[in-house]
Amino acid sequence: MKLCLKTIILLKNQKDLSSLPEGKLLINTINAHSYNTALKDPLFQEALLKGGALIPDGISMVLAFKFLRGEKIERTAGWDLFQYEMNKLNQKGGVCFFLGSSKKTLSLVCEKVKTVYPNIQVKTYSPPYKSSFTEEENREMINAVNMANPDLLWIGMTAPKQEKWAYEHLNELNVHCHIGTIGAVFDFFAGTVQRAPQWWQKNGLEWVYRLLKEPKRMWRRYIIGNVLFLWNILKEKNGMIMDHN
């Protein structure tokens, strides 16, 4: 199975979040950066394709769908998924588990949830900050989640680590809830990283805002990455034309 935007199934709009089935479901997001990365990382590619749902988090995916397939879809950011799921859980009450990020960020998350989502009980676990985990570290994370028996599980370790970890350990996670890999949303919600103002978001320019805010960290991802994404999309388009002929 190969990652191709001409065949991939994505959530079409934010309203479709309500159609996601209940129970254990792995929900990932995809943008230009993760698309480029997945083309070179077979496990990441498999994790995206074999998850329960895939959400277009980026204006690049919206434009690519229009260009390749003539289909109109709407951007659904990880933040949109987060708000939808948290509001839904807050209405009935339950336990939400945050796996990832630093202890400081998780502490800020806990405090804010008390105010914004008072009917949600929060459990957290801050894994070691490293590129890969030992078997013992993996077991500790899995046990922490399973002991909490959450009604909602968020994993924030940045892509592609979070998606691969969730996919590889999905069967060991004895949960019956939605599992979302949402990376930077932990920091957005905690307030440790500022999200782009509404105008930038509405006009598909959130990536420009982040580039201006953190040029040294983001230039490779957005300048080189967007050019690479365009090249990959043109190759897909050319393949479609060749197939048609």
What are the phi and psi torsion angles at 73 (to 5°)?
Answer: -125, 165
- 186 and 209 both lie in a single domain: no
**Per-residue model confidence (pLDDT) at position 211:** 87
Q: Is residue 2 part of a domain?
A: no
Tokens at residue 95, please? Answer: 């336990």
Do 159 and 42 share a structural domain? Answer: yes
Q: Does 80 share its domain with 152?
A: yes
**What is the rounded CA–CA span in Å between residue 24 and residue 12?**
21
Give yes or no: residues 65 and 134 share one domain.
Answer: yes
Domain containing residue 96: CATH number = 3.40.50.10700
Convert the pLDDT of each residue in 48-96 to its tens digit: 999 999 999 989 999 999 999 999 999 999 999 999 999 999 999 999 9
- Residues 133, 214, single domain; the answer is no
Average the pLDDT over 95-110 and give the result. Answer: 98
Q: 168-174: which pairs have CB atoms within 8 A and are 24 or more residues apart?
A: 168/43, 168/47, 169/138, 169/141, 169/142, 170/26, 172/142, 173/24, 173/142, 173/145, 173/146, 174/146, 174/149
Q: Are residues 136 and 192 in the same domain?
A: yes
Q: Which domain holds residue 51?
A: 22-198
What residue type is 61 in one-letter code?
M
- Domains contained in the chain, number: 2
pLDDT for 245 equals: 45
In the chain, helix, strand, coil percent, each to 5?
Answer: 55, 15, 30
Global pTM value? 0.93
Q: Is 129 a domain residue?
A: yes
22-45, pLDDT tens digit by residue? 999 999 999 999 999 999 999 999
184 and 204 co-located in one domain: no
84 and 153 assigned to the same domain? yes
Structure tokens at 191: 């307030």
State yes or no: pLDDT of 170 exceeds 80.
yes
| CA 190 from centroid of its chain's CA atoms | 17
